[in-house]
Structure 1
Amino acid sequence: MADVAAQTGDVPREAPRSEDPHGGVAHGEDARGEEPRGEAAERRRLGEHDHAIEDALVEEFENTVTEGANRLNRTWRALVVTGLFGGIDVGLGLLAMLAVVDATGSKLLGGLAFGVGLYALRLAHSELFTEEFLVPINAIVAGHGTWLQLLRLWSVTLVTNLAGGWALTWLIVAAFPHFEDVLLESTATYMESGLTLETACLAILAGFTITLVTRMSQGSDEGIATLANSFVSGLLVVGLGMFHGALTSSVIFAAMHAGAETTYLEWLVWCAWVIPLNMVGGLVIITLPRLVRTWELVTAEREAQRALRAQGS
């Protein structure tokens, strides 16, 4: 090619270069006269989606918004049944925990056994109140629901979780009265401390843990991942004695059925500070940062929803 150019008199010319006042290449171009790709453009080029964000996060966001919209738009019947079975499934975990603690005396092993109930909860597509901190809020912020729908979801799920747990724990205590000592000891740990810095942090960590596990479940459909998430949740929340509005209430209800001196008024006072702190752990530590991380997707989805509503009106 060089000989041909010499014979024809054509001399290859260098690509034009823009120089800045300091004698270098202009900031908008590289040494070859090409504009460098920014980080956002590079992510778009490498990924399968048009968004300047990792593909895995895009897919997780889409799944979360779809699932959240489904939960927000459930019928009253579906809400009640889903919440009731959430409390009932937790009761199964309580039974496993009592059997293990009674046999071994280990609270950690008992907490691990409690994961049986959480695994059943996920396979049966039941839900706990604290599992509603991440998924539905993503849907609302993305324009697929209202805050009134969220209030309905939260209130019905919480009440039915507690009702289902109360009913099944009565059955457990009636069937296995020899677990009474384990129940009374466990409940004393939860009820006698009151609101302190330690118990407040335990309640925050409980909300954080369950919400984080919910997010982990959104990232994988593998059965082994679901199993691992369930047993890790039981080990941490129940085995370490965290304060969780629905899970811990099942232990307290069982102890009350077994003859504990705890009253329903005392339990309500306990719930009055535990549940809000669970919400702090789930919403502030997990949900809010997650929204910030995927804000580009949130705004894009909101604009798409506005456009659809404008076309329909």
Structure 2
Amino acid sequence: MARAPSPEDIYGSARSEGERRLSSSALEQASTGFIAGVTIVFGIVALGVARELAAPDFASGVGQLVGALAFGIGLVFVVVGRTELFTENFFDPVAAAVARRRLGALWPLARLWLLVLVLNFAGGALMAAVFTVPGTLPGRAHHTLALVAEEIAAKDGLATFTRGIAAGTLLTLLSYLLHAVESVGSRMLLAYVVGFFLALGPFDHVVVSGLHLLFGIWLGAPVSYPDLGLNIVLSGAGNLLGGLLLMTLTHAVQVKGSG
């Protein structure tokens, strides 16, 4: 039986991968972010279709559970396809930037975050435009996606921020755990479980929640672009706090403390 990797092994693997990401070209970073945005929309659509199909026969809570189970496939596509959502760059690249021990490392990190975030939304918006065309999705899936957007927009600001903390922590934990496994099957299982829990909360991931709201705007839900902007600010801040402070930096301290 293979030995489970130590925290030092995991952190070292993350640092190496982070160095590769920081050193990659802007075109590679942008294309990787764009593909992830396209890909995660399939999870959002799967959630809407599954929840709509379950709603006529089951109570609302069961519909939400079925939707969360369906959403997990979107994160599997992202992880197995080796594309990157914004939060996937909280652990590996930050570990590499810390290892460089100079302020100059902050610029490549900031460029990576900005490019990936913007291109996540660009890719996601393109696919959302495709799926909002009447007749593209079955039944009343459009109605269900609009309802999900309403639910996200209805939360107060503090709840959005705290749910953002939870999402950032959860997705950064996924980045950490992926370095502890080797097989594709294990990576798929981890991604699916995290995707399911993210949608079950539901917790506010800046890209996923933002794209949900974009669907709502384009499908005629009582959701506005200011609602989208506010969610991006609050959930993004929460994602950063949870991902960087609660996961990345604490793991860095753990490794330094054992050295």
After TM superposition, the score normalised by the length of structure 2 is: 0.88
| Corresponding residue number in structure 2 for 1:250 | 211
Q: Distance in 2 between matches of 1:55 and 1:176?
A: 44
CA shift for structure 1 position 191 = 0.6
Asked if 1:272 corresponds to 2:229, the answer is: no
Q: Which has the higher contact order (CA 8 A, sep 6+)?
A: 2
| Corresponding residue number in structure 1 for 2:60 | none
Aligned counterpart for 1:79 among listed residues 29, 44, 53: 29
Q: Distance in 1 between matches of 2:86 and 2:211?
A: 13
Does the 8 Å contact 1:109/1:239 carry over to 2? no
Q: Distance in 2 between matches of 1:58 and 1:200?
A: 31
| Corresponding residue number in structure 1 for 2:157 | 195
Aligned counterpart for 1:136 among listed residues 93, 104, 108: 93
Does the 8 Å contact 1:211/1:286 carry over to 2? yes
Aligned counterpart for 1:172 among listed residues 115, 127, 131: 131
Q: Distance in 2 between matches of 1:107 and 1:231?
A: 16
Overall identity of the aligned pairs, in %: 24
Asked if 1:220 corresponds to 2:170, the answer is: no
Does the 8 Å contact 1:107/1:240 carry over to 2? no
Q: Distance in 1 between matches of 2:8 and 2:141?
A: 48
Q: Distance in 2 between matches of 1:87 and 1:190?
A: 19
Q: How does 1:286-297 map to 2 (within 5 A)?
A: 286-295=247-256
Does the 8 Å contact 1:90/1:250 carry over to 2? no
Instruction: Give the letter aligned to residue 88 of structure 2.
Output: E
Q: Distance in 1 between matches of 2:182 and 2:46?
A: 25
SS in 1 for 2:221: coil
Q: Distance in 2 between matches of 1:88 and 1:268?
A: 20
Q: Distance in 2 between matches of 1:229 and 1:253?
A: 27
Q: How does 1:49-64 map to 2 (within 5 A)?
A: 56-64=6-14
Q: Which moves more between the two structures, 233-242 or 153-162?
A: 233-242
After TM superposition, the score normalised by the length of structure 1 is: 0.74
Instruction: Give the letter aligned to residue 194 of structure 1.
Output: D
Does the 8 Å contact 2:49/2:137 carry over to 1? no
| Corresponding residue number in structure 1 for 2:148 | 186
| Corresponding residue number in structure 1 for 2:117 | 158
Instruction: Give the letter aligned to residue 67 of structure 1.
Output: E
| Corresponding residue number in structure 1 for 2:171 | 210
CA shift for structure 1 position 55 = 6.0
After superposition, the Cα gap between the structure-2 partners of 1:55 and 1:86, relative to the gap in structure 1 and judged at 3 Å, is: closer
Q: Which runs of 5+ in 2 are unaligned?
A: 56-62
| Corresponding residue number in structure 2 for 1:8 | none
Does the 8 Å contact 1:72/1:149 carry over to 2? yes
Q: Which moves more between the two structures, 61-70 or 141-150?
A: 141-150
Q: Distance in 1 between matches of 2:81 and 2:54?
A: 29
Aligned counterpart for 1:284 among listed residues 235, 245, 257: 245
| Corresponding residue number in structure 1 for 2:107 | 148
| Corresponding residue number in structure 1 for 2:197 | 236
Q: Distance in 2 between matches of 1:92 and 1:193?
A: 24
CA shift for structure 1 position 65 = 1.1
Larger C-alpha radius of gyration, 1 or 2? 1
SS in 1 for 2:132: helix
CA shift for structure 1 position 219 = 1.1
SS in 1 for 2:157: coil
Q: Distance in 2 between matches of 1:186 and 1:228?
A: 25
Instruction: Give the letter aligned to residue 270 of structure 1.
Output: N
RMSD over aligned CA atoms reads: 2.0
SS in 1 for 2:182: coil
Does the 8 Å contact 1:173/1:180 carry over to 2? yes
Q: Distance in 2 between matches of 1:206 and 1:57?
A: 22
CA shift for structure 1 position 266 = 2.4
Alignment deviations for residues 29-54 of structure 1 (CA, whole Å, 9 cap, x no partner): xxxxxxxxxxxxxxxxxxx9xxxxx9
Does the 8 Å contact 2:5/2:180 carry over to 1? no
CA shift for structure 1 position 296 = 6.0
Q: Distance in 2 between matches of 1:155 and 1:293?
A: 28
Q: Which runs of 4+ in 1 moved over 3 A?
A: none
| Corresponding residue number in structure 1 for 2:76 | 119
